[in-house]
A = this chain, B = another copy of it.
Amino acid sequence: MIIAEFAIFPTSEGASASRYVKRALEAIRTTGIRYETGAMATVMEAESLDEIFEAVKRAHEAIVSMGVKRIHIDLRIDHRLDKEISIASKKRAIQ
């Protein structure tokens, strides 16, 4: 499993971004990927980079379709190849 932390928001539409973030989350949901929302980002769990990039692309398209002028994306990925990891296992490991 690959775990990714993803944030996307417009930087051109004034201080409030929540209506854009909500649409991005709806778009992520359509992919069927496992994810958890947080205060600063959404954490996703996937079998491949392709699955993560598909979710990012759908979130991006959703915000583009709302007519914004500028979009910022932050994506951090943790890919462990020596053993299986998941959102749950990573949380357990630090408790």
Q: What is the interface of chain A, defined by CB distance below 8 A to chain B?
A: 3-5, 7, 9-12, 14-15, 17-18, 21-22, 25, 36-41, 43, 49-50, 53, 56-57, 60, 64, 68-83, 87-88, 90-91, 93-94
| A80 close to B69 (CB less than 8 A) | yes
> A17 — nearest CB in chain B belongs to which residue?
B11
Copies in the complex: 4
Closest B residue to A89 by beta carbon equals: B39
| 5 further contact pairs, Cβ within 8 A, besides A39-B87, A41-B76, A74-B74 | A5-B39, A71-B81, A72-B72, A73-B75, A74-B75
**Interface residue from B3, B49, B83 paired with A56 (Cβ < 8 Å):** B49
Minimal Cβ-Cβ distance residue in B for A90: B39
